[in-house]
Amino acid sequence: MNEKNDPNKKPDRVLGDEWLTWTGSLDESKMYDENAHLFAIYSSVALFTLLAGIAAVLYFIEPRLYMFHPAVVYIARTVTGLIISAFVVTGILIIASVFSGKNLLRHKRLGQIAATRILPIAIPIAKLFGIPRDKLGNSFVTFSNAIVKASHTPGNGKTIILLPRCLKADMKEQVKELGSRSGVGVFSATGGGQARKIIIKERPTAVIGIACERDLVSGIHDVAVKMPTIGITNKRPEGPCKNTTIDLEEIKKAIKTLTGKPIE
């Protein structure tokens, strides 16, 4: 029985907003370890769908454009063709950057920003093929992290780590110790709202976020447009929002990527 619906049992966890519909089944909190390929495939399908929609709109309005002047139709076709070509080339360069480990884009932030914007279209498309949103979200985080690793140049900026309230106490202390050794601030956030307040107050130039796929997808979507953001998915052996763990090696790699400081 779902602990939320059992009046005789005191809840042993405080569910985050993304988990309010959780029924208590560990299957719903399945942990994934996806590579970037899954998101690359479905984001490509999403991009194709978006561009096909743009082409369809032009097709249906061409008769009205022709009524103004035939030249208007040719101008519209040219502009649409240029837009579609730009999207396709950019998409190819982003995916190539992820899998080559080299930034092939002039704008360093464009890759991660574009990935966050195409994700809402990719999620329902993947769902049609039976891909759970958390599975695609896990792949998205891997994809997004690869973009940051390929494009970010460590500098003198300020990096912070945001911890979830559900992380085991001993692991929080270990992360804080890593942060102390590398000069990275570590903060605990009880949710997305508080995380945003911390970012506004601390004014970092880069963020490492630790959370479940659902919170990371939302967080990266909000923050990546302003600064490079690395997400680290937690492990949930007891289900969501309770005694979660992380791989500390991932934290070390993220710190090195953003600060350039290796941690032994």
Q: Which of 110, 129, 151 is the last residue of a domain?
A: 151
**105 φ, ψ to 5°?**
-110, 145
145 and 36, same structural domain? yes
pLDDT in tens, 39-83: 999 999 999 999 999 999 999 999 999 998 999 999 999 999 999
Q: CATH number, domain at 175?
A: 3.40.50.2300
81 and 144, same structural domain? yes
Integer Cα distance of 249 and 264 in angstroms: 10
pLDDT for the residue numbered 1: 42
pLDDT for the residue numbered 8: 55
Q: Which of 151, 176, 206 is the last residue of a domain?
A: 151
- 156: pLDDT confidence band, cut at 50, 70 and 90? confident
Count of domains forming the chain: 2
pLDDT in tens, 158-192: 999 999 999 999 999 999 999 999 999 999 987 77
137 and 219, same structural domain? no
Q: Which domain covers residue 123, as residue numbers? A: 32-151
Paired tokens of 33: 């370890």
Residue 86: CB atoms within 10 Å: 10
163 and 142, same structural domain? no
DSSP labels for 189-204? ESSHHHHHHHHHHH--
181 and 93, same structural domain? no
136 and 180, same structural domain? no
Shortest CA distance to 162 belongs to which of 262, 225, 217, 229?
A: 229
**244 φ, ψ to 5°?**
-80, 160
Lowest mean pLDDT across 10-14, 214-218, 221-225: 10-14
Residue in the structure block whose two tokens are 């920003």? 113
Q: What is the DSSP letter of 48?
A: H
Integer Cα distance of 231 and 31 in angstroms: 15
- 98: pLDDT confidence band, cut at 50, 70 and 90? very high
Contacts with 125 (C-beta within 8 Å, 6 or more apart), sequence order: 42, 45, 46, 49
pLDDT for the residue numbered 11: 66
| 15 found inside a domain | no
Q: What is the mean pLDDT of residues 98-122?
A: 95
Integer Cα distance of 15 and 4 in angstroms: 10
3-state secondary structure of 158: coil
- 6: pLDDT confidence band, cut at 50, 70 and 90? low
181 and 139, same structural domain? no
Q: Which residues pair with 189 in a beta bridge?
A: 164
- 14: pLDDT confidence band, cut at 50, 70 and 90? confident
pLDDT for the residue numbered 137: 96
| 16 found inside a domain | no
pLDDT for the residue numbered 89: 97
Q: Which of 87, 122, 151 is the last residue of a domain?
A: 151
| 168 found inside a domain | yes
- 235: pLDDT confidence band, cut at 50, 70 and 90? very high
CA-based angle 213:215:217, to the nearest 5? 65
One-letter amino acid identity for 3?
A: E
159 and 147, same structural domain? no
Residue in the structure block whose two tokens are 């998915």? 233
| 208 found inside a domain | yes
| 5 found inside a domain | no
Q: Are 215 and 164 in contact (CB under 8 A)?
A: yes
| 7 found inside a domain | no
Q: Percent of the chain having pLDDT more than 90?
A: 78
pLDDT for the residue numbered 5: 54
Please say if the pLDDT value at position 234 is more than 50.
yes
171 and 126, same structural domain? no
Q: Are 142 and 149 in contact (CB under 8 A)?
A: no
pLDDT in tens, 198-216: 999 999 999 999 999 999 9
Q: What is the mean pLDDT of residues 75-99?
A: 97
Please say if the pLDDT value at position 17 is more than 90.
no
| 77 found inside a domain | yes
213 and 238, same structural domain? yes
140 and 182, same structural domain? no
Query: Looking at the chain, how many residues does it have?
Result: 264
Mean pLDDT of the chain: 92
Q: What is the DSSP letter of 235?
A: B
| 130 found inside a domain | yes
pLDDT for the residue numbered 116: 96
Q: Sign of the C-alpha dihedral, residues 81, 83, 84, 90?
A: positive
